[in-house]
């Protein structure tokens, strides 16, 4: 035991030294001096030169945001990436569908569009020209509907395909040998399905009425979990930040909100608009809060999922970026930091595995609780053993 503590101390010391000594190395003289009067062409050159230097922020943002192509390997102009279909619709120009590699990483325009900071904007030039010399057409850009199959959309489709395969396979096995012990895919999924049913749906909604929410809860649980796990895999078709994208969280939260509102009973609305047993004066204050809370609950669901998954991706990428930041100062240092970065990334990866499951669980559980509160009949005075009087404090 003492030996272990000793090793840990040394490790910590080395780590502290490593980070404090770096500040010295950070004051390397800047070789490049910037010309104040640069021509557009020179500006472009400067841009190229600048991109030689490693930029961690750009890398991280590039990885966690959506993209019109799926980056596989390499850097800059020589990178290998999977081009994805771009689907655009504008009332002036109609529908236009083409592959994203026509943009040549944002250097060329195509069909009157160009790629600017991951976003497609319309330009005046309809023929293919250099994107850096094109003029943006604000009017068309504002009315542009971009429903391209982006990286996240494709990753989402992959996860949906995976889910269809997994669950339909499992369902077939259930049909083929009814009443038998689960095997294979069935055995993998059954504990999770039972977990969602017993520990989430039954406990939060109640034995009697959980049935109708089961399809949504199961789908949402496995969608989040599988996408979270796919997000941890660094190679295609994993690595996309699907659940850490606010749009995905927004749709899921909106569905939760809609289901809550649609299935809500009289009791729920009464509690929102006129809490029983509360005097009018307090109601004036309470009702706006309750109405606000009705929207806030799904909003919090969205933010929680988004922030947690995004943070996981950012941490992993930050650790790897450290390696290259230090390697740029000194190759040996890069290798040294690499050891720690990999160790920490493994640690974080383990934690992320837990977080992946936890976020899926938390989202599903809270959604189930909102459904449960929406159909709660209130406490029956004649029945002290209310179905779910123990879980109302969440």
Partner 1 sequence: MELVKPEFGLIFWMCISFGIILLILKKFAWKPILNMLHEREASIQNALDAAEKAKEEMKALQSNNEKILADARNERDQLLKDAREIREKMISEAKGIATKEGERLLTIARENIQNEKMAAITELKNQVATLSIEIAEKILKSELSSDEKQKTLVNTLLKDVNLN
Binding site for partner 1 (CB under 8 A): 61, 64-66, 87, 117-118, 145-150, 152-153, 156-157, 160, 163-164, 167-168, 170-171, 174-175, 178-179, 189-190, 193-194, 197, 214-216, 218-219, 223, 245-248, 250-252, 255, 306, 310
**CB burial of residue 30 (10 Å; 0-12, 13-18, 19+):** exposed
DSSP state of 103: G
Cβ closest to partner 1, residue 318 vs residue 341: 318
Q: List Cα–Cα distances, 171 to 14, 181, 200, 227, in angstroms.
A: 54, 14, 21, 21
Residue 100 C-beta: closest distance to partner 1, Å? 12
Q: Supply the minimum distance, in Å, between the C-beta of residue 221 and partner 1.
A: 11
- Smallest distance from the beta carbon of 390 to partner 1, in angstroms? 23
Nearest to 243 by CA among 312, 304, 305: 305
Name which of 193 and 342 has its Cβ closer to partner 1.
193
Q: Which two tokens stand for residue 310?
A: 């995004």
Closest separation in Å from C-beta 325 to partner 1? 22
Alpha-carbon distance of 271 to 392, in angstroms, equals: 14
Closest to partner 1 by CB, 268 vs 306, is 306
Comparing CB distances to partner 1, the nearer of 169 and 330 is: 169
Which residue stretches of the chain are H helix?
2-25, 40-52, 56-64, 138-142, 151-176, 184-195, 203-205, 214-232, 246-263, 266-273, 280-329, 331-374
Q: Which residues contact 178 (CB under 8 A, 6 or more apart)?
A: none
- Residue 111 token pair: 């069909």
CA-to-CA distance for 298 and 256, rounded, in angstroms?
A: 7
Closer by beta carbon to partner 1, 18 or else 56: 56
* Choice between 81 and 186, CB closer to partner 1: 186
CB of 65 vs partner 1, minimal distance in Å: 6
Angle 31-317-10 from CA coordinates, rounded to 5°: 85
CB-nearer residue toward partner 1: 40 or 179: 179
Instruction: Report in angstroms how near the CB of residue 29 gets to partner 1 at its nearest.
Output: 34
Q: How far is the CB of 303 from partner 1 (least distance, A)?
A: 9
Tokens of 284: 């004036």
Task: Pick between residue 256 and residue 294 the one whose CB is nearest to partner 1.
Answer: 256
CB neighbours (10 Å) of residue 116?
15
Shortest CB 160 distance to partner 1, Å: 5
The b/e string for 305-330 (b: 16+ C-beta within 10 A; e otherwise) is bbebbbebbbbbbbbbbbbbbbbeee
Count other C-beta atoms under 10 Å from residue 212's C-beta: 12
Inter-residue contact 245 to 223 (CB < 8 Å): no
Shortest separation between residue 219's beta carbon and partner 1, angstroms: 5
- Which C-beta is closer to partner 1: that of 110 or that of 306? 306
């Amino acid at each position: 035991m003492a030996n272990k503590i000793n090793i840990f101390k040394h490790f910590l010391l080395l780590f502290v030294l490593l980070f404090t000594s770096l500040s010295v190395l950070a004051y390397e003289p800047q070789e490049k001096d910037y010309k104040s009067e640069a021509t557009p062409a020179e500006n472009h050159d400067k841009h190229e030169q600048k991109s030689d230097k490693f930029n961690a922020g750009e890398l991280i943002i590039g990885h966690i945001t959506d993209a019109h192509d799926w980056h596989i390997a390499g850097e800059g102009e020589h990178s290998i990436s999977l081009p994805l279909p771009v689907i655009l619709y504008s009332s002036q120009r109609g529908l236009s569908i083409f592959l994203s590699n026509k943009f040549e990483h944002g250097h060329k325009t195509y069909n009157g569009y160009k790629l600017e900071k991951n976003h497609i904007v319309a330009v005046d030039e309809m023929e293919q020209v250099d994107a850096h010399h094109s003029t943006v057409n604000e009017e068309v850009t504002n009315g542009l509907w971009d429903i391209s199959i982006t990286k996240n959309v494709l990753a989402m489709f992959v996860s949906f395909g995976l889910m269809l395969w997994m669950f339909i396979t499992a369902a077939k096995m259930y049909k083929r040998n009814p009443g038998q012990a689960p095997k294979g895919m069935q055995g993998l999924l059954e504990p999770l399905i039972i977990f969602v049913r017993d520990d989430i749906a039954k406990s939060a909604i109640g034995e009697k009425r959980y049935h109708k929410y089961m399809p949504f809860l199961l789908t949402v649980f496995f969608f989040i979990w599988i996408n979270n796990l796919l997000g941890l895999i660094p190679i295609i078709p994993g690595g996309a930040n699907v659940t850490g994208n606010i749009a995905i969280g927004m749709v899921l939260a909106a569905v939760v909100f809609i289901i809550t509102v649609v299935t809500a009973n009289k009791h729920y609305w009464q509690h929102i608009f006129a809490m029983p047993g509360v005097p009018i004066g307090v109601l004036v204050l309470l009702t706006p809060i309750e109405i606000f809370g009705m929207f806030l609950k799904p909003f919090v669901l969205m933010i929680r999922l988004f922030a947690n998954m995004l943070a996981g991706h950012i941490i992993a990428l930050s650790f790897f970026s450290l390696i290259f930041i230090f390697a740029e100062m000194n190759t040996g240092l890069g290798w040294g930091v690499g050891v720690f970065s990999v160790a920490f990334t493994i640690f974080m990866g383990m934690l992320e595995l837990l977080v992946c499951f936890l976020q899926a669980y938390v989202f599903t559980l809270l959604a189930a609780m909102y459904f449960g509160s929406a159909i709660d009949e209130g406490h029956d005075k004649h029945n002290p053993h209310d179905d779910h009087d123990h879980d109302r404090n969440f």
